[in-house]
Chain A
Amino acid sequence: METYTLIVLTLAATIRVATPLLLAAIAGMFSERSGVVDLGLEGKMLGAAFAAAAGSAATGSAWVGLGSGIATAVLLALLFAYATVTQRGNQVVAAMAINIMVAGLGPTLALAWFNLGGQTPQLDGPGQRFTSLVWPWANTAAEYPLPGLLYAQLLSGHNLIVYVTVALVPLSAWVLFRTRFGLRLRAVGESPQAVDTAGISVTGLRYQAILISGVLCGVAGTYLSTAASAGFTRDMTAGKGYLALAALIFGKWKPYPTLFACLLFAFTDALASRLQGVSLPLVGVIPVQAILALPYVLTVLLLAGFVGKATAPAAIGLPYSKEK
């Protein structure tokens, strides 16, 4: 009984941790599928987290927060697209620049606007945050352990963004594999020449992909500052953008495997906090850090071809020009 509750609670925590990861990973899936390395997930998320918290704090509406979060991430994505697609700049450098710039800009603006040492005000007014939606009879159901707790903790009790994110996985799989846009997107990441000779604009497709990445990173950032916590703090993404990228690679740039990778990575996170200082039978105390480093180690092993094989889109990282 005790263990069972623990497991359900850990799984519920996994879902909460996985949500921003999954949003960012799917964001990355769109841009990387178009042939653009997206190291800027971190920066776009962080920028959105700040803008969402600031927007919500200023207006008292989480929805305004969401709007400003998305708008900010999209602006950053536009800058990224201009540098990498139009100017054919180095994709890695452009992303690092944006990540570093945003890491400074958030706290700087926060200090100037709210004077709270680089944070936004605590979001505790009604409607300032995306709060948990409790499904009908969830509280009653929680009394009954097996199906009830599962219903109350796993299905019910998350905020709107979590449910939207869950729906996003089949939606993006559908877009990617069942629509004209998806076909072209997958093609441009593999062979921009083929797309170009077929009379489709490579630049246009890559801009669209990067902008979609912006929108989703905007939602992810909003989740971090207005749903998972109550306001923006310095460096609150804490590497989640890179972890999402790792999940995307681990998921081999496919929606469902990426979902699985995000859940796995989030589970290690949730597990790490549960296992802190707990002595397990046989193995004793596992260092929390070892569990936290696991996703990165797994990704490196995968990239090295020791665990399966991750094949990136063939044209990823290369600016396209007709002449070559």
Chain B
Amino acid sequence: MSAPQKLPRWAELGLLPLINLAAALLLSGLVVKILGESPWAAFKLLASGAFGTQEGIGYTLYYATNFIFTGLGVAVAYHAGLFNIGCEGQAYIGGLGSGLIALWLGDRAPFFVVLPIAIVAGAAFGAAWALIPAWLQARRGSHIVITTIMFNFIAASLMTYLLVNVLIKPGQQSPESREFGPQAMLPAAHELFAKIGITFSPSPLNLAFAIALLASALVWVLVWRTRWGYALRVVGQNPSAAVYAGISPSRIIIQAMLLSGALAGGLGLNELLGSQHRILIDFPGGAGFVGIAVALMGRNHPIGILVSAVLFGALAQGGAQLAFDMPKINRDMVVVIQGLVILFCGALENVFRAPLALLFRAKGEK
């Protein structure tokens, strides 16, 4: 049988991703070994760097926030049967939207006015950047994988142009905008905690994390609890059945991509309004691609995405610690692990599925 073997739900959603993750980590450990360091020591350093201190946890969740936004973006498109590789570009342009609002209103409107407008602008810009590939896929059949890759590069060129020529703070060398006004800065977690009397070490973790959690909940409701989400999943699973049911696949494809781009656009809230407080070159920093890994490992479900986003956040933060403490290892090791996770959770997932399915069948027949 060539059809992907069926596993019990808990094994499909829990066991298989764990096995795949274990395989990726095992191979990563091997790389660490080759580098001449102890994998176990590296693992401990990584874990303690990510979760050992309040500051570490703060950073971990701060990185995770980016990955939640892009992971959700990839997942929503995936439910419509689309592979959106363009979250990087959509996050970049989406962040521009939020950033422009922040630059414009940051010192002339109150925070509670700026924030919603910035959120809407980020979502709108991100969605707009996804619209053209979506439209081309739905109406002209242009392969969305290729067009979104092209749009990542076009976004990068556009942003470089804007930052170098338009947004750059006058009299400055590096291509960055001026700093946002105070009303456009999302409060940091330690500030918020301080207000209710809890002391928490300073870190870039900020309100955007809560917004990301909210977005996850909204995605869950939208995909699994509304008629639109139902239609979305029908299109992704069986386009013929969608047509039969009176659902227009091309309309759903466009809508799903708009939502996908909008979610990716949320990254700017965390990275720009929450942490950098200015628009700068390449602020998504590959989070759009990490989103692919996060969505794959999280099985495109918001809860799975949360868990794997935190895991990748921990990798990013713990990796920094690792690079600091082990001279033979730098932060690029984290990227290696990300790649291996995508490899095992995505491309090679059938390697373990087949034996696992056999195992379950053997058990079932007993």
Contacts and interface: CB of A to CB of B under 8 A. Distances in A.
Contact of A290 (B2, B143, B157, B336): B157
A142 interface: no
B35 interface: yes
Given A100-B289, A112-B329, A89 B347 contact: yes
Interface in A282-324: 287-290, 292-293, 296-297, 299-300, 303-305, 312, 317, 321-324
Nearest to A84: B347
B238 interface: no
Interface residues of B, number: 52
Interface size class, chain A: 35 or more
Nearest to A95: B347
A72 to B, nearest CB: 14
Interface in A196-251: 234, 239, 242-243, 245-246, 249
Contacts of A99: 339
Given A96-B85, A100-B335, A111-B328, A83 B343 contact: yes
B142 A96 contact: no
A104 B348 CA distance: 19
A322 B1 CA distance: 10
A88 B353 CA distance: 12
Interface stretch (B144-152, B196-204, B264-272): B144-152
A292 B339 CA distance: 28
B222 interface: no
Contact of A97 (B1, B34, B158, B342): B342
Interface in B306-359: 327-330, 332-340, 342-343, 346-351
A93 interface: yes
Q: By DSSP majority rule, is chain A's interface helix, strand, loop, or mixed?
A: helix
B136 interface: yes
B22 to A, nearest CB: 16
A108 B330 contact: yes
B350 A293 contact: no
Contacts of A292: 157
A321 to B, nearest CB: 4
B243 interface: no
A69 interface: no
A250 B94 CA distance: 29
B83 interface: yes
Contacts of A109: 35
B26 to A, nearest CB: 14
Nearest to B343: A97
A107 B330 CA distance: 8
B154 A296 contact: yes
B66 to A, nearest CB: 16
Contact of B145 (A83, A92, A106, A112): A92
A39 interface: yes
Contacts of B346: 89-90, 93-94, 96-97
Contacts of B164: 289
Contacts of B342: 93, 96-97, 100-101
Contacts of B140: 304-305
A299 B132 CA distance: 13
Contacts of B330: 107-108, 111, 117-118
Given A83-B343, A100-B342, A111-B330, A293 B154 contact: yes
A108 B150 contact: no
Interface of B: 1-2, 31, 34-36, 83, 85, 132, 136, 140, 142-143, 145-147, 149-151, 153-154, 157-158, 160-161, 164-165, 289, 292-293, 296, 327-330, 332-340, 342-343, 346-351
Given A296-B150, A296-B154, A304-B142, 20 more contacts: A39-B145, A89-B346, A92-B145, A93-B83, A99-B339, A104-B333, A104-B334, A108-B31, A112-B34, A234-B332, A239-B153, A242-B149, A242-B150, A245-B149, A289-B157, A299-B150, A300-B151, A300-B154, A304-B140, A317-B143
29 contacts: A39-B145, A39-B149, A89-B346, A89-B347, A89-B348, A94-B346, A97-B347, A100-B338, A102-B339, A104-B338, A105-B339, A108-B31, A108-B330, A111-B328, A111-B330, A112-B36, A115-B328, A117-B330, A118-B332, A287-B165, A290-B157, A296-B154, A300-B154, A303-B143, A303-B147, A304-B142, A305-B142, A323-B1, A324-B2
Sorted from nearest, which 6 A-B pairs have the closest CB atoms?
Answer: A101-B339, A104-B335, A94-B347, A104-B336, A93-B346, A293-B157
